Structure 1
Amino acid sequence: MTAGQTPPRLEIRNLVRVFDGRRVVDDVSLHIRAGQVTCLLGPSGCGKSTTLRMIAGVEMQDSGEIYVDGKLICDTVFRVPPERREIGLMFQDFALFPHLSVAGNVAFGLKGSREEKRARVEELLARVSLGGHIDSYPHQLSGGEQQRVALARALAPRPRIMLMDEPFSGLDNRLRDGIRDDTLALLKEEDAAVLLVTHEPEEAMRMADEIALMRGGRIVQQGAPYNVYTRPADRAAVAFFSDINVLRANVTGALAQTPFGQFLAPGFPDNTEVDIVFRPQHVKLDFDRGGKGPLPTPSDGVAARGVVERARFLGSESLVEFRMDFDGSLLKATVPNVFIPETGRVMWLTIRRDRCFVFPADRKR
């Protein structure tokens, strides 16, 4: 940070948490500015929730530091108590008090006069479209309504930071998108720094200004959603966001040789094995014309022949799986809208060169 620059609202430096000799959180660093939403994305058990608990102050790190607005709030010696960190919390379990009304839940923990508390409660309930439920009790609300009450309660004290741990995973799919969008809009209005934990790539892409992809206790890639998706750090990063196809190839003269033609493989020595990774939506299909396919092009390379194994309509797209002639492997392609070719049909496949990733061969494959 240069002189005169405003410090991040939340900064964590080199956090480590060890359980039974294993680093569950391993040297994690992040910074989030006011009004920014960062998603900590990764599979279950990768250390996301443990990181959140350390920031909240309900669990102590083994090493590392946590800062809010440039001020240290926790290291291994100094520790600001959780209730003084000005951090809001939302979890999958909304944890509403069943004996309190909606108003009582939102006002819980607020300071000030009765009139000030009531004004803040009414303001927030109006903003989450629950003004008519101010005297209702949690058991009288739907899951989506309970989630909005939990959000209002978390925002009521005007926290500088909001931590959210899988807050939408218990909601019906039909409700989830609308509630996520409404929640995001309200968080932006409040100008809090938001750290959202999720294992769902779609949720992270939809909500985040920045994604931190976590695996095995470490952040393996961090950046804007577009960059994380289109410039993945490794094969596993590609696979976390979507289905993938993989071609194993050998490199000669910085070119990987495959039945689909050559792929650029800069930086790999001759005779190195590489994996060429590409998503099903970047496979192009063409019909068989008397045993011939399309001519080679610089952008799509050489066509390879495959036979339809099965095809399914998924709603917004169709998934077609091919048994490839060159080695009998299965390759997936997705096509917008409805495309259900019959099993056994011969087609020709090409791969968009600008949508392929070349990585060192995965020996665990």
Structure 2
Amino acid sequence: MPDGFDREHLRGLVTVTQTPRLEIRNLVRAFEGRRVVDDVSLTIMPGQVTCLLGPSGCGKSTTLRMIAGVEMQDSGEIWADGQLVCDTVFRVPPERRGIGLMFQDFALFPHLTVAKNVAFGLSGSQEDKRARVGELLERVDMARHAESYPHQLSGGEQQRVALARALAPQPRIMLMDEPFSGLDNRLRDGIRDQTLTLLKEEDTAVLLVTHEPEEAMRMGDEIALMRNGKIVQQGAPYNVYTRPVDRATVSFFSDANVVRATVNGALANTAFGRFLAPGVADGTDVDIVFRPQHVRIDFDRQGSGPLPTPSDGVAARGVVVRARFLGHESLVEFRMEHDGSLVKATVPNVFLPAAGKVMWLTIPRSRCFVFPASRG
């Protein structure tokens, strides 16, 4: 080594690769010949929240049950902190996996007080148990209800007790299956935020199953979008939302407008102007997909609309069908004159043009997605 080379500096340059807290590799589970979980792989680091998002019946809960150990996979592996937990030969029992569980129904013991519910399953001395229970009940603002029974609590209070009980053994991994869906909207956001804060403080790896895109965007460091047993896209919420892999992904997160066109010379011609379709063969039908909040509306000026621009293309004329105020925005639906199709647009605050009013719509090219045309 050259003279004067700083060994400590060399150590500082070495990147330490952190071991995943939870890793599942190529999980498969089939029922009656149909794969409900089909080659699913995920990696979750300590302190990371990954949301497994998808419609009902896509395989989310089955994946969770296999990780918990209450369902056996047909193939694939489950690892925790670099150690094999389960494959098709070796299997650590569920109670020894260091995994916490939270479900929609809370599953509190009705005959036990709040404090005894939280203490259930804790090991150690009575003094240590009391200290851990007291600490957690303070953190979820339930200390004053320590001697109450579950039936004496509201749904939100029961959820906080269930969270404290799940965290009590300090699990390295937390599996959550739609735990907030039983709460009313007024309580849900606050309890979700409190839950997320506590889990981050405990450095727990979290896999949260949900069918609500808003919940996944709010809670997840990463989203794994699942459809028909497969993970079709995975990444940070911003990337999944702004760089969807297909039309179905756009539609899952929000309403979507669709304009169909045929490609010629890497361009798709529409009433809204041309759209780039690089790499798509001539004669291919494509769907041009855009969200209502990205539609731009302009007034009719004696039969004319705004001039074409490279960024917004050509304005197309539409007639207002209906307009509704939704509280934080207005939804306006247009019947397009060129083909009779329906286009939805949302506008911040109050904008309620009368039915029958003629207006011009443009679509910013930076907000559009071009996909191969979907069947049907």
TM category (shorter chain) comes to: over 0.9
Tell whether 2:180 aligns with 1:168. Answer: yes
Give the corresponding residue for 2:30.
18
For 1:64 and 1:179, how far apart are their aligned partners in 2? 35
% same residue: 82
Partner of 1:35: 47
- What is residue 136 of structure 1 aligned with on the other side? 148
- Residues in 1 aligned to 2:283 and 2:55: alpha-carbon distance in whole angstroms: 34
The residue number in structure 2 matching 1:223 is 235
- How high is the TM-score relative to the length of structure 1? 0.98
Which of 310, 329, 337 is matched with 1:325 structurally?
337
Superposition pairs of residues 68-217 of structure 1, within 5 angstroms: 68-217=80-229
1:248 to 260, 280, 286: 260
State the alpha-carbon separation in 2 of the partners of residues 5 and 231 from structure 1: 28
Residue 71 (structure 2) pairs with residue 55 (structure 1): no
In 2, Cα distance between the equivalents of 1:310 and 1:6? 54
> Equivalents in 2 of 1:56, 1:195: separation in Å?
11
Local SS of the residue matching 2:106 = coil
Q: TM-score under structure 2 normalisation?
A: 0.96
Distance, in Å, in 2 between the alignment partners of 1:294 and 1:175 is 45
| Cα deviation code 1:191-210 (max 9, x no counterpart) | 00000000000000000000
Alpha-carbon distance in structure 2 between the residues aligned to 1:290 and 1:140 = 67
Please say if 1:237 is aligned against 2:252: no
Q: Which of 272, 278, 290 in structure 1 is aligned with 2:302? A: 290
Which amino acid letter does the alignment assign opposite residue 282 of structure 1? Answer: H
**Alignment partners' CA distance in 2, 1:81 and 1:337:** 55
Query: Cα offset for 1:69?
Result: 0.4
Distance in 2 (alpha carbons) for counterparts of 1:266 and 1:225:
26
Unpaired segments ≥5 residues, structure 1: none
Out of 273, 286, 291, the residue aligned to residue 261 of structure 1 is 273
Q: Using the alignment, how far apart are the partners of 2:37 and 2:373 within structure 1?
A: 27
Residue 341 of structure 1 corresponds to which residue in structure 2? 353
Aligned counterparts of 1:189 and 1:142: Cα–Cα separation in 2? 25
Deviation at 1:5, TM superposition (A): 2.1
After superposition, the C-alpha distances for 1:246-281 in whole angstroms (9 at most, x for unaligned) are 000011111110000001111101111100000000
1:131 alignment partner AA: A
CA deviations on 1:329-352 (whole Å, 9 max, x unpaired) are 111000001111110011000001
Q: What letter matches 1:279 in structure 2?
A: R
Stretches of structure 2 that go unaligned for 5 or more consecutive residues are 1-13
Query: Tell me, what secondary structure is at the counterpart of 1:359?
Result: strand
Residue type of the alignment partner of 1:203: E
SS in structure 2 at match of 1:52: helix
| Correspondence for 1:301 | 313
Distance in 2 between residues matched to 1:3 and 1:25, nearest whole Å: 35
From 342, 365, 369, the counterpart of 1:353 = 365
- Secondary structure, counterpart of 2:38 in structure 1: strand
AA aligned to 1:90 is: M
How many angstroms does 1:4 deviate by? 5.6
Instruction: Give the deviation of 1:3 after TM superposition.
Output: 9.6
SS at the partner of 1:171?
Answer: coil
